[in-house]
Amino acid sequence: MGPLTGRVALVTGAARGIGLSIATRLMEAGAGTVVHDRDAHAVAVARSLSEAGGSATALIHDLARPSAPSAMLAELQAAGREPDILVLCASAEIRETLESLSDAAIGLQSEVNVHASARLLQAFLPGMISRGFGRVIAIGSVQEERANADCLYYAATKAAQTSMILTLARTLRAPDITLNVIQPGAIRTDRNRAILQQPGREGLALERIPLGRLGSPADCAGLALLLCQPEGAYINGAEIAVDGGMRL
């Protein structure tokens, strides 16, 4: 029996990177975990987690489609797996400067990072309120504090997502529902691998990190677990950086 036994956790973008690490940690703590992603890789991940002794199911929807959140709600309601924990990890990051920023990049990042976040909250918060328990965690970014020129619009969308979470944390006023933001820094994920392999790029990142090392997805997963279990029940409306001090 883990601290999250009996809870259901929906982690978006959970087939890879930080999302996968969080989904694994929550499952290990006893939660029935819903592994969401936009492609069938989510099925393989859910199967692997279940074979490891946990309870995991796959949920495949593309958050670039406005209808995805309502379809996700309907599918989970039909399966009797409405989430008590919602981790907003899926995101679109397109590196373009202001001069090169395209309408396609604006549209995709807005849809996935901002619009889908709002629709997911609309879909799943009412159930948490009616059941009297909920944990919402948004995965933000150090770019909100220390944006690079080529992440100008991505950083803006993550800041908008954070604003939504903090507004709800301040105004919802439900006794056992918390909303928080984890802001990762330079984390070794598949998404970041190609960037870090560029000549001099990893060294440049390390110069900005007081701890002198890159982070791992597990660094974020441990914090997510704390926010979901009883010891984290009084943390609400927090923006917590997991960046080795990179934002300073």
> Tokens 């001090």 identify what position?
245
DSSP assignments along 167-180, one per residue: HHHHH---TTEEEE
Rounded distance between C-alpha atoms, residue 166 and residue 82, angstroms? 23
Catalytic: which of 57, 88, 154, 165? 154
Strands (E), the chain: 8-11, 32-37, 56-60, 85-88, 134-139, 177-184, 239-242
Q: Verify whether residue 154 is a known catalytic residue.
A: yes
Name the phi and psi angles at 202, rounded to 5.
-65, -40
Catalytic amino acids? 154
